[in-house]
Amino acid sequence: MSNNKSETLAAGIAGKMGGAILALLAVGFVIAVMLGNLLFAGWKIDLTENKLYTLSEGTENVLANIDEPINLYLFFSDQASEDIQSLRGYARRVREMLREFESLSDGKLRLTEVDPVPFSEEEDRAAQYGLQGVSTGIGADPLYLGLVGTNTIGDEQSIPFFAPDRESFIEYDLAKLVSTLATPERIKIGLLSGTEVAGGLDPRTGQPSSPWMVVEQAQSLFNVEVVDQNAGSFDADMSLLWIIHPAELSEATLYNIDQYLLAGGKALIFVDPLAEAAPGPPMGQGMPPQPGSSTLGSLFETWGVEFATDQVMLDPLFALPVSSGPNGQPVRHPGIIGASSEAIDPTDVITADLETVNLSMVGYFSVSEDSSLTLQPLISSSAQAESVDSFMLQFTQDPQALFEQFKGQGSTKVIAARLSGSIKTAFPDGRPAANSVDAEADDSVTIDSGEAEPAIAPEETSEHISESITATQMVLVADVDLLSDRLWVQVQNFFGQRLPSAFADNGNFVINALDNLTGSADLISVRSRGTTNRPFSLVEGMRLSAEAQYRETEQSLQSELSDLESRLGQLQSSRQDDSDKISFSPQQEAELDRFLEERARIRTELRRVRRSLAQDIEQLGSLLKVVNIGLVPLLILFFGVFSRFGNRSARARK
């Protein structure tokens, strides 16, 4: 009896000890988690292919250069988005990146999250900041997902709404906003042009001309100053050199461009083999000016940039209609093209949101094999584009005659590109002789104020640079005409105010390029990243293949239907019955029966294709589920068992 009591007592004590041990383990686990959150806060391992959750070095440099505090306010409708999980997941991505910005800024960024509940003061603040509320349905409250940033001098920058289709540019948009608030001074751009794009006296009419609309828009965003081509050197405080139609530049001006870029300057350059918007001098007495060409000559040769001033690209696929027919009807012109989204790089921040860019009489770029520059196409032609002699287009206005020039040997050509890398000087012997500078020098004009003051300083004693100090950043465009108003915007005069109405994205392309290039080299390096959406490539390929088969079968059905209707029409018109009653001959009825049987067969085939597509995708999905749910855990279990027995056998041998 006593033994039973002892065993019962021992079992009770063991049970209590076991419960106490479990309680201690639970408490220890909670303490370990809390300590882990404190000790390893901010630690993470990014295993994504494109390093989606790791900030780039450029962003880290932008954050390190913040001098004074910046306040960030993230407006997100948390309550109103409870049933929209996709938006909540996207908002979580934005929030996490902002918190990482904050943690790396050494206390210079202060993030505040705001939920703009309907009819609240927070919603009024969101509206005052210009944030956009998106409606999800009739009677539903608007959803906000925007950001506002302020600095110590009262400047404001905002992202009205984080659109999910710009997920790959979240980091760039945030870094751009922070960089703009950290350096609030208005950015200075030097404009060097071979034609009167900034307004002036029109040589063809003798009347004053307004600035081109793209220049006028740039003036509202930047401090744009016309530079003097004949001064000694370019002003060092220019963030960007904007070159338009550099026709017949002197050696001294080319040298200044060369030294500016070698010193770390950035450039947006527009050249053209046949610039209709910037004609050259008249060819003879009483003749109107003919379109002129422009290039950077020796600079392009030294950089390894290939650009032919005697070749114009024709593109039959992107040809735009022009009024050129005998009765003024529109006819497609292969020399005037509209580059659609298929020809525009969606991964670069300059061209990501563009839909159409209109161009006229364009050239194309390439780089030589020994060039040190990396060329990234921004706008390209179709694969059917071919080049012709530019001299022919000056006298051939018939689009049909231009289409006859195609030989079926087309290829994709680069119209606009981003170039980066190290370059060397095109003037190894230093500054060219003084007699190469034009005898006459005009004072430059400050566009914003209209006052005449030098935009570049004559510092001819500056040290000669032989090789680029930092990686060169520039964008080249093989067309000047895309800047002209006629290709992208209609301008109306309303009581002295010019009101633009854009029908193409030419202006957005230029402003995006200016905005991107005027940022620091660190900001330029933060372009598109990957997206969290990882499509199943194999499934997508299966779907496209099945759809192609479906389209082919559908086209076959439509062809047979059209052929049958044509034959029925012929049979009906040849019948001898003159009555109004609709009747069919035995031949027509047989034809109809045959068509109905054929149509039933093809519809059955279409259903079979669709069922096969669904079955293949379902089988693939089942296989992926088996691999993810069953195979991977089995592999982990096998590895654990193998390690366990391996350790036991090792101990046994010892």
Tell me the per-residue pLDDT of 228-253, one tens digit each, with 9 for 90 and over.
877 777 888 899 999 999 988 999 99
Task: Give the pLDDT band of residue 580 (cuts 50, 70, 90).
Answer: very low
Whose CA is closest to 262, among 475, 519, 474? 474
Question: Is 57-182 assigned to CATH 3.40.30.10?
Answer: yes
pLDDT given at position 291: 76
- Please report, for the chain, the start and end positions of each structural domain, with discontinuous segments joined by +: 57-182, 188-280+290-307+371-377+415-525, 539-558+591-634
Q: How far is CA 12 from the centre of its chain?
A: 72
Q: How far is CA 166 from the centre of its chain?
A: 9
Task: Give the pLDDT band of residue 82 (cuts 50, 70, 90).
Answer: confident
pLDDT given at position 461: 47
Task: Give the pLDDT band of residue 552 (cuts 50, 70, 90).
Answer: low
Read off the pLDDT of each residue in 347-357 and give the average, rounded to a whole number: 90
Q: Which pair of tokens denotes residue 336?
A: 């005037």
Give yes or no for residue 527 having a pLDDT over 80: no
Between helix 170-182 and helix 57-64 the angle, nearest 10°, is 20
Between helix 85-104 and helix 170-182 the angle, nearest 10°, is 40
- The beta strand positions in 330-413, using DSSP E, are 330-339, 357-360, 366-367, 373-380, 386-389
Task: Give the pLDDT band of residue 118 (cuts 50, 70, 90).
Answer: confident
Q: Which pair of tokens denotes residue 30?
A: 């909670």
The CA-atom distances, in angstroms, between 343 and each of 171, 222, 317, 513, 588 are 25, 29, 11, 17, 50
pLDDT in tens, 601-610: 766 666 666 5
pLDDT in tens, 262-286: 999 999 999 999 998 877 665 554 5
Alpha helices per DSSP H over 269-382: 298-303
Give yes or no for residue 139 having a pLDDT over 70: no
Q: Is the dihedral of CA 199, 202, 203, 207 positive or negative?
A: negative
Indicate whether this model's pTM tops 0.95: no
- Across 294-303, 515-524, 532-541, 613-622, the highest mean pLDDT is recorded for 294-303
